[in-house]
Amino acid sequence: MALRDQLKVMVVDDMSTSRGLILQALDAMGIRQVGYATDGAGALAILEKTPVHLVISDYNMPGMDGLQLLQALRKNPKTARSGFILITGRADKTIIETGKKLGMNNFIKKPFTPPDLRSCIEAVVGRL
Residue 3 has pLDDT above 80, yes or no: yes
Q: At what angle do helices 93-102 and 66-75 cross, to 10 degrees?
A: 10
Residue 121 has pLDDT above 80, yes or no: yes
Instruction: Compute the half-sphere exposure of residue 63: CA atoms within 13 Å on the CB side of its CA.
Output: 11
Domain CATH for 15? 3.40.50.2300
Task: Name the pLDDT band for 2 (thresholds 50, 70, 90).
Answer: confident
pLDDT tens, 12-51? 999 999 999 999 999 999 999 999 999 999 999 999 999 9
DSSP code, position 107: E
Structural domains counted in the chain: 1
Query: What domain range includes position 102?
Result: 3-125
pLDDT tens, 77-113? 999 999 999 999 987 899 999 999 999 999 999 999 9
Global confidence as pTM: 0.97
